[in-house]
């Protein structure tokens, strides 16, 4: 029964007749949905929980669906049991090791599993390289900062022992390395020395890195799976080069391998590829649990050899959930489980690669060996008359068109000095089945077909436009790109 609230003198003015909102629990009958709420400052009294839930859910409703986000390496599917365990640990601050010793124990198991996977020598002093040390970090940036800091410290120690100058450290790497490497150099006053990518070569090579190394080089960063094309840098060749350089000059240059994505792929499907602690100059490795470690975002692992400091993270507090999720995956899948999943991804990768090639609209830029991605760009199109057609659209327009179907397959430009190359990359994650891949290809073809009908410019049209322009004596500066935006092929 609805009663009139006699105590409220304003009743009836702000509410619909006969409706006493205080008694109605329905979210959309509450006044909060009919009033703008302060967005950038605290409101005075807050809102009820169910309203709060709905309002925030609605804010998020326009976001992409994570499963359809083909740009990201980050895990979008885990088993419900893993979710449960991770949810249970939401209130655990990992850093309180006395109160939550199980989290530390689980982290140590994960570190040990990875150390073994990366062929770290297990006995102190063996091969003169010491015990493996590892830690979970909040992010890849933190992991890489730590690895690079260890290189810098070791370099300083070596130089100081010889009474040499330590004021001008540098780090040698390819320009395709992740932005966190640049950050490290800026934050910790290290000069960055790059090998730049170019058309046809999207990775640094040992030969190109070598001349950049000198006595002030703290180390070389090698990437196992670049973010642009998924390619593995040849860490074995880099190691052999560093060996030579060190032997010749009496330096102690070491390598950090950024294996954020490749660190989980290589051991399972390319076990013979030597990129890890089997190589004598590899001092540290980082890997992202939230990429091919198959855990929801927030966990990275770092392994060092011969480090003396044990409490080495930059960040203090962090949740324990991701560490627990990682251990769940290790225990649940074992070596064989990870291998099976990655072999499935290879099937999907090959199928997508082939289908994209068959469209004849694209050139594939990702290599056959690497992390499971397909990177590609539009090719120059030849019309049925054999003459070149000028596309009036690019990879960015194609990305927009695909977004209409829900796919997030963004276009991007290659790293500095090769940024004239536009490309797209499909990241194949655990939850992409062949069925989903086939649907993607259908949608990709449809998008291309639509763009071709609406935005193509034939040689004939170019000629006609040229004539028109010269007749009207217009120079190229008045030749506005708007003239071209929607041109139908004849």
Ligand X SMILES: *Cc1c(COP(=O)(O)O)cnc(C)c1O
- Residue 146 as a binder of ligand X (CB under 6 A): the answer is no
Q: Which of 30, 103, 135, 288 binds ligand X (CB under 6 A)?
A: 288
Alpha helices in 27-89 (DSSP H): 49-60, 80-88
CA atoms of 173 and 233, how far apart (whole Å) = 11
140 binds ligand X (CB under 6 A): yes
Q: Does 178 bind ligand X (CB under 6 A)?
A: yes
Is the Cβ of residue 132 or residue 147 nearer to ligand X in the bound state?
147
Least CB distance to ligand X at residue 136 (A): 14
Q: Which stretches of 43-139 are DSSP H helices?
A: 49-60, 80-88, 101-117
CB 142 within 8 A of CB 313: yes
How far apart CA 196 and CA 175 sit, in angstroms, is 5
Contact between 202 and 195 under an 8 Å Cβ cutoff? The reply is no
Cβ proximity of 181 and 146 under 8 Å: no
Is residue 377 helix, strand or coil? strand
Within 424-483, the residues that bind ligand X by CB under 6 A are none
Q: Does 180 bind ligand X (CB under 6 A)?
A: yes
- 139 scored as a contact of ligand X (CB under 6 A): yes
Contact 376, 365 (CB under 8 A): yes
Instruction: Give the residue among 400, 404, 406, 383 at the shortest CA–CA distance from 459.
Output: 383
**Shortest Cβ 394–ligand X spacing (Å):** 25
Query: Are the C-beta atoms of 74 and 431 separated by less than 8 Å?
Result: no
β-sheet bridge partners, residue 311: none
Residue 399 within binding range of ligand X, rule CB under 6 A = no
Which residue lies nearer to ligand X by CB, 294 or 448?
294
Strands 300-305 and 362-364: unpaired
Angle at which helices 321-358 and 434-454 pack, to 10 degrees? 50
The reply to whether 227 sits near ligand X by the rule CB under 6 A is yes
CB of 226 to ligand X, least distance (A): 6
Which listed range, 136-144, 305-313, 326-334, 475-483, lies at the site for ligand X (CB under 6 A)? 136-144
Nearer to ligand X, 223 or 242 (CB): 223
Give the one residue of 258, 276, 302, 395 binding ligand X; rule: CB under 6 A. 258
CB atoms within 10 A of CB 337: 15
Q: Report the residue number, 295 or 378, with the smaller CB distance to ligand X.
A: 295
Least distance from ligand X to the Cβ atom of residue 138, Å: 9
Interface segment toward ligand X; rule CB under 6 A; list 211-219, 222-230, 265-273, 329-337: 222-230
Instruction: Please report whether residue 303 would count as binding ligand X according to CB under 6 A.
Output: no
Interface stretch with ligand X, choices 6-14, 139-147, 354-362, 467-475 (CB under 6 A): 139-147
223 lies in the binding site for ligand X (CB under 6 A): yes
Binding site residues, ligand X, CB under 6 A = 73, 139-141, 178, 180, 223, 225, 227, 258, 260-261, 288
């Amino acid at each position: 029964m609805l009663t009139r609230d006699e105590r409220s003198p304003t009743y009836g003015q702000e509410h619909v007749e006969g409706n006493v909102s205080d008694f109605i629990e329905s979210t959309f009958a509450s006044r909060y949905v009919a009033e703008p709420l302060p967005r950038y400052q605290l409101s005075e009294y807050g809102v009820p929980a169910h309203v709060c839930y709905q309002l925030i859910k609605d804010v998020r409703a326009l976001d992409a669906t994570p499963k359809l986000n083909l740009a990201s390496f980050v895990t979008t599917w885990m088993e419900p049991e893993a979710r449960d365990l991770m949810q249970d640990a939401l209130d655990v601050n990992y850093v309180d090791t006395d109160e939550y010793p199980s989290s530390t124990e689980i982290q140590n198991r994960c570190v040990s599993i990875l150390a073994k996977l990366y062929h770290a020598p297990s006995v102190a002093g063996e091969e003169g390289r010491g015990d493996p040390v590892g830690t979970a970090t909040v992010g890849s940036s933190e992991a890489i900062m730590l690895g690079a800091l260890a290189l810098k410290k070791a370099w300083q120690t070596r130089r100081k022992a010889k009474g040499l100058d330590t004021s001008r450290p540098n780090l040698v790497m390819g320009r395709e390395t992740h932005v966190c490497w640049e950050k490290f150099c800026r934050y910790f006053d290290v000069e960055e020395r790059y090998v730049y990518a170019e058309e046809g070569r999207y990775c640094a090579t040992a030969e190109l890195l070598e001349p950049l190394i000198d006595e002030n080089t703290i180390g070389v960063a090698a990437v196992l799976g670049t973010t642009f094309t998924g390619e593995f840098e040849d860490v074995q060749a880099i190691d052999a080069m560093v060996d030579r350089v060190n032997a010749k000059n009496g330096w102690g240059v070491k390598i950090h391998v950024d294996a954020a994505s490749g660190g989980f792929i290589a051991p399972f499907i390319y076990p013979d590829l030597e990129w890890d602690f089997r190589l004598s100059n590899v001092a540290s490795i980082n890997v992202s649990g939230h990429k091919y470690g198959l855990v929801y975002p927030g966990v990275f692992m770092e392994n060092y050899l011969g480090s003396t400091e044990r409490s080495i993270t930059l960040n203090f507090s962090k949740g324990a959930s991701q560490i627990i999720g990682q251990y769940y995956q290790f225990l649940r899948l074992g070596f064989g489980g990870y291998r099976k999943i990655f072999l499935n991804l290879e099937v999907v990768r090959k199928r997508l690669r082939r289908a994209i090639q068959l469209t004849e609209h694209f050139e594939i830029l990702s290599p056959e060996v690497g992390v499971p991605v397909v990177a590609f760009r539009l090719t120059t199109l030849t019309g049925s008359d054999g003459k070149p057609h000028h596309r009036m659209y690019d990879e960015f327009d194609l990305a927009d068109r695909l977004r209409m179907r829900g796919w997030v397959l963004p276009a991007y430009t290659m790293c500095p000095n090769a940024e004239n190359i536009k490309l797209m990359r499909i990241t194949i994650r655990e939850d992409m089945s062949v069925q989903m891949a086939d649907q993607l290809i259908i949608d990709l073809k449809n998008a291309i077909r639509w763009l071709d009908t609406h935005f193509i410019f034939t040689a004939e049209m170019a000629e006609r436009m040229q004539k028109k322009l010269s007749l009207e004596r217009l120079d190229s500066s008045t030749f506005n790109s708007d003239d071209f935006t929607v041109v139908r092929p004849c």
